[in-house]
Amino acid sequence: MTNSRKNAVETVVNREVVPLQIAGVKVSDYYASNVFKDSAMREYLSDDAYKAVKEAIKAGTKISREIADSVASGMKSWAMQKGATSYTHWFQPLTGLTAEKHDMFFMPKGDGAVEVFSGDALVQQEPDASSFPSGGIRATFEARGYTAWDPGSPAFIMEIGEAKTLCIPTIFISYTGESLDYKAPLLKSAHFLEQAALPVVHLFDKDATKVTATLGWEQEYFVIDEALFYGRPDLMFSGRTLIGAAPQKGQQFEDHYFGTIPERVYGYMLDFEAECHKLGIPIRTRHNEVAPSQFECAPMFEEVSVAVDHNQLLMDLMERVARRHKLRVLLHEKPFAGINGSGKHNNWSMGTDTGKNLLSPGKTPKNNLLFLTFFVNVIKAVNENADLLRASIASANNDHRLGANEAPPAIISVFIGSYMTDALNEIEKRVAKDKYDELSNANLKLDIHNKIPDVMLDNTDRNRTSPFAFTGNKFEFRAVGSSANCSQAMTVMNAIVGKQLLDFKVEVDKLIKGGEGKEGAIMRILRQYYTDSKKVLFEGDGYSDAWEKEAKKRGLSNVKTTPYALDFYTTKKAKEVLVNTGIYTERELDARVDILHHTYSLKIDTEARILADLITNQIVPSAIEYLNKLITNIKGLKEIGIAASASKAQKETATEIAEHINALKVAVDKMQAALEVTHNGKTTAEHSKAYCDKVIPFFAIIREHADALESKVDDSIWPLPKYREMLFIR
Ligand code: ADP
Ligand code: MG
């Protein structure tokens, strides 16, 4: 092995398990101890301030200057008592990461200093944030962007080593009020959904005053040792291996899935879970995933915006804690070719303040009508807006999963299980199209409740191929990427369902006005929706070629790459659902699409450059070194008079290696020429499409030759850590 590769492997083999930071302490003893939660607010805020914050959380009311001062003062006392010395507005710019800019509490005064934190500093800040993507909304000469406090998400203290910082969740907007982050549109979409859903809930439950969208994500990730990570420039700079031959043993045996967790990784999990728990992130499950060195964690579900904050925090914590364990977490959607990639299932539902999960079947037929109403409306919403959902999960990383022989396909379809299919078919058959006869339908089977849980368990476990599945009491959007901010997908989800519920209510009202009974009106509309939405319902194998053909016949889109999926955001439909609903302004939406195209181009550009560098500076030189050894050997054999036939194998191998080297040179040159051409386009969309169509095809060609060389060249001189080393040494 080359020295650096050998050293890396030796380092990994000799690693010790890192002792846990918190051992033998009950989670309940420290859960949410670093959150400015209700009990802390009660203790540290005046009655007026406490009430105002609660009101702001519940109804979104504004907080006055004086009250803000009072809240800030209480928050500061709490944070300082916890050992915090600085504070930061914490936000989610369109880079996909989180951002913070720290300020200290202290202020020089007289010949000493005091600790201050004013209401102004709590409510609004103006970070010099000119370098965040804005899609042209904010020219750099007009760099002002503001962060504004979001009282709906509690403040918390982030500990980094001994340092402690008070973090205030905020939204990020431009001087002219346009959103520059993920959070603001998400909050707007949740509000829009609530406004649309409440009148529908009131058809069944007059007492509800609030509807919240709920999200429970499941985060998949890989873990590898730091020493091997540093040996792979492609992993370091692009998050995935651009080359690397598959090991002889991958995931075929399925022996990793739910297997025992390796000790070092286990320690890492317990450590980041403890950090999560301190921040009130309700992580509850951990297990091995399908691929070697792949794992998953999941929390209890929460209100969507809090769940998104918590997922962003989790990803941040996972990265930091991994370093403590000399490990690296890979959140990329496809770090390794040939084995499964990672996703982030988004379990989504809606709940009322009267304690109802609107996607959970009720105990009585009457309550089942409420369930059916929301269930069928979600299906209708997805049927009409499948393309927008596809756009919402588009990224260069996720393209390696969607439609690339991997779960799930790029075709958006809905899985509901055979039991619900039967129930809907029964309704379609029994409810007359033109008139609902309450008497003859009195026995219509709506007693869904008791059977669903068993049936769903049965069905959904078997069908892991659907991108959007009903799993008993929630829908599970499985096509979201593992490194993505869930906001984009959840914003679209809230928007399409909200829009659908508005339309539904109008139709119901119309029928009722025309003299029909409420139940009858609802049943007839749901029946119609089901009939209209059948094309999006699919229960079979989502990976199969047969489904691709069938989906095409049904007119479902199957767009496999990001630049083309993003076009769905610029359609008339997109404007109706995302702009006319007040979630984005037209300019905000255009800017966002612009940024997504640009991010894609940057990503592919970086990957191409890293790949060219790896091939030219590492792969080709080591191949030549081995080639020269072969040549020396062939010459030597000839020199001492051994028959030419005896060096046949060496000559063949030498020829193959020389051919691969040549092919690599040709492909890398062509790829680099293609990189130049991408700049010819005028718009960001033209650029990204050029990267997609003209640059990416070389990745596979180059990889094929490089991986062939890996299997031919002397292992002792191969420069990069191999798949088997990264995935199997623990
Ligand atoms: P499975 O592991 O079979 O997918 P679980 O019951 O473990 O199902 O749930 C997976 C995720 O779904 C968890 O994060 C959980 O919190 C979330 N979840 C459960 N109920 C809801 C709901 N009503 N709304 C949103 N997410 C939910
Ligand atoms: Mg699940």
Q: Tens digits of per-residue pLDDT, 260-308?
A: 778 899 999 999 999 999 999 999 999 888 888 999 999 999 999 999 9
Query: What was the pLDDT predicted at 95?
Result: 83
CA distances from 301 to 175, 214, 286, 349, 696 (A): 34, 6, 15, 9, 38
Which band of pLDDT confidence, cut at 50, 70 and 90, is reported for residue 140?
A: very low
Instruction: Judge if the beta carbon of residue 349 lies within 6 A of ligand 1.
Output: yes
| pLDDT given for residue 256 in this prediction | 65
Determine whether the shortest distance from the Cβ of 300 to ligand 1 is under 6 A: yes
Backbone Cα Rg of the chain: 28
Question: Ligand 2 centre and the CA of 416: distance in Å?
Answer: 14
520 lines ligand 1 (CB under 6 A): no
Q: How confident is the model at residue 446 (pLDDT cuts 50, 70, 90)?
A: low
pLDDT digits (tens, 9 = 90+) for 630-639: 999 999 999 9
Q: State the alpha helices, DSSP H only, in 431-477.
A: 452-462
Instruction: Identify the pLDDT of residue 663.
Output: 98
User: What pLDDT does residue 728 have?
Assistant: 87
Q: What are the structure tokens assigned to 548, written together? A: 């691709």
- What lies within 8 Å, CB to CB, of 75 at 6+ separation is 36, 44, 117, 122, 155, 166, 168
Question: Higher confidence at residue 286 or residue 433?
Answer: 286
Supply the mean pLDDT for the chain.
90
- Between CA 94 and CA 440 the distance in angstroms is 55
Q: Is the pLDDT of residue 60 over 90?
A: no
Q: Is the Cβ atom of 664 under 6 angstroms away from ligand 1?
A: no
Helix (H) or strand (E) holding 149: strand 145-149
Mean pLDDT of 540-546: 88
Tell whether the torsion through CA atoms of 512, 420, 413 and 481 is positive or negative: positive
Residue 218 DSSP code: E
Atom of ligand 1 nearest to the CA of 285: 7
- For residue 485 and ligand 1, the question of a CB distance below 6 A is answered with no
CATH of domain 599-728: 1.20.120.1560
Band (pLDDT 50/70/90 cuts) for residue 167 is very high
Q: What is the DSSP string of 367-410?
A: HHHHHHHHHHHHHHHHHHHHHHHHHHT--TTGGGTBTTTBSS-S
Q: Is 690 exposed, middle or buried (0-12, 13-18, 19+ CB in 10 A)?
A: buried
Residues 480-532 pLDDT 10s: 999 999 999 999 999 999 999 999 999 999 999 999 888 889 999 999 999 99
Within the chain, how many helices (H) and strands (E) appear? 25, 17
pLDDT at 454 over 60: no
| Most confident option among 137-146, 210-219, 260-269 | 210-219
3-state secondary structure of 87: strand
Take atom 11 of ligand 1 and give the residue whose Cα is closest.
216
Q: Ligand 1 in contact with 492 (CB < 6 A)?
A: no
Side chain identity at residue 334, one-letter code: K
pLDDT recorded at residue 322: 96
- Residue spans of the domains in the chain: they are 18-181, 191-584, 599-728
pLDDT digit string, tens, across residues 19-42: 887 878 899 999 999 999 999 999
Stretch 459-474: mean pLDDT: 80
Site to probe by mutation for ligand 1, drawn from 473, 474, 478 as the one with most ligand atoms within 8 Å of Cβ, is 474
CA 670 – CA 666 distance, rounded (Å): 6
**387 near 568, Cβ under 8 Å?**
yes
151 lines ligand 1 (CB under 6 A): no
Of residues 162 and 251, more confidently modeled? 162
| 405 has pLDDT over 80 | no
Q: Decide: residue 355, CB within 10 A, 0-12 exposed, 13-18 middle, 19+ buried.
A: exposed
Q: Tell whether ligand 1 has an atom less than 6 A from the beta carbon of residue 473.
A: yes
Q: What is the pLDDT of residue 452?
A: 56
CA distance to 157, 284, 378, 455, 721, per residue, from 357 (Å): 32, 20, 14, 19, 49
For residue 457, the ligand 1 atom closest to its alpha carbon is: 3
Q: Is 146 left (phi over 0), alpha (psi -120 to 50) or beta?
A: beta
CB 483 within 8 A of CB 333: yes
With beta carbons less than 8 A apart as the criterion, state whether 345 and 218 touch: yes
How many A from CA of 420 to the centre of ligand 1? 19
Helix (H, G, I), strand (E, B) or coil at 668: helix
Angle between helix 648-677 and helix 696-712 axes, rounded to 10 deg: 160
* Helix, strand and coil percent figures for the chain, each rounded to 5: 55, 15, 35
What CATH architecture is 191-584? 2-Layer Sandwich (3.30)
Does the structure show a pLDDT above 90 at 702?
yes
**H/E stretch holding 295:** strand 294-299
CATH superfamily of 18-181: Glutamine synthetase, N-terminal domain (3.10.20.70)
**Residue 397 above 50 pLDDT?**
yes
pLDDT (0 to 100) of residue 141: 44
Tokens for 360? Answer: 């959970």
Query: Which ligand has an atom closest to residue 477 CA?
Result: 2
Q: Could you tell me if the CB of 113 is within 6 A of ligand 1?
A: no
Report residue 723 as tokens: 């798949």
The residue contributing the CA closest to ligand 1 atom 4 is: 471
Give 179's strand partners.
173
In short, whether 463's Cβ falls inside 6 Å of ligand 1 is no
Q: Is the CB of 677 within 6 Å of ligand 1?
A: no
Q: Which atom of ligand 1 sits closest to the CA of residue 360?
A: 23
- Least confident residue range of 175-189, 393-407, 543-557: 393-407
Query: For 231-253, what is each residue's pLDDT tens digit?
Result: 999 999 999 999 999 887 666 65
Query: Is any ligand 1 atom within 6 A of the Cβ of residue 352?
Result: no
Pick the atom of ligand 1 nearest to 298's CA: 14
Closest Cα to atom 13 of ligand 1: 216
User: What gap in Å lies between CA 585 and CA 578, rounded to an integer?
Assistant: 8
Residue 714 and residue 693: Cα distance in Å, rounded?
35
Q: Which ligand has the minimum distance to the alpha carbon of residue 466?
A: 2
Establish whether residue 347 lines the binding site of ligand 1, counting it when its CB lies within 6 angstroms of any ligand atom: yes
Q: Which residue in this structure is represented by tokens 């009101």?
A: 55
- Give 166 Cα–ligand 1 centroid separation in angstroms: 30
Best of 297, 347, 349, 473 for a ligand 1 pocket test (most atoms within 8 Å of beta carbon)? 347
Question: What 3-state DSSP class applies to 470?
Answer: strand
CA 344 to ligand 1 centroid distance, Å: 12
User: Would you say 290 and 251 are in contact if contact means Cβ atoms under 8 Å apart?
Assistant: yes
Q: How far is CA 458 from CA 97, 400, 407, 451, 463, in A?
A: 37, 29, 19, 11, 9
- When mean pLDDT is compared across 102-116, 269-283, 599-613, 683-697, the lowest value belongs to 102-116
pLDDT, mean of residues 1-21: 86
* Residue 283 CB less than 6 A away from ligand 1: no
Ligand 1 in reach of 95 Cβ (< 6 A): no
Residue of minimum CA distance from atom 23 in ligand 1: 349
Q: CA-to-CA distance for 205 and 367, rounded, in angstroms?
A: 9
Question: Helix 417-430 crosses helix 518-533 at what angle (to 10 degrees)?
Answer: 120
Q: How confident is the model at residue 59 (pLDDT cuts 50, 70, 90)?
A: confident
The per-residue pLDDT for 403 is 72
471-488 pLDDT, tens digit each: 889 999 999 999 999 999
Q: What proportion of the chain, given as a percentage, has pLDDT over 70?
A: 92
Residue nearest to atom 17 of ligand 1 (CA): 216
Comparing 69-83, 409-423, 576-590, the range with the smallest average pLDDT is 409-423
Region for residue 506 given its phi and psi (left: phi exceeds 0; alpha: psi -120 to 50; beta: otherwise): alpha
C-beta of residue 52 within 8 angstroms of C-beta of residue 71:
yes
| Tokens read off for 627 | 């080639």
With 0-12 / 13-18 / 19 or more C-beta atoms within 10 angstroms meaning exposed / middle / buried, residue 13 is exposed
Q: CA-CA distance, 92 to 695, in Å (whole number)?
A: 30
Stretch 557-567: mean pLDDT: 97
Question: What is the per-residue pLDDT for 128?
Answer: 64
Spatial separation of the C-alpha atoms in residues 418 and 539, rounded to whole Å: 8
What span, in angstroms and rounded, lies between the C-alpha atoms of 174 and 587?
A: 12
More confident residue, 134 or 390: 390
Specify the amino acid at residue 422: D
> What is the rounded CA–CA span in Å between residue 262 and residue 292?
11
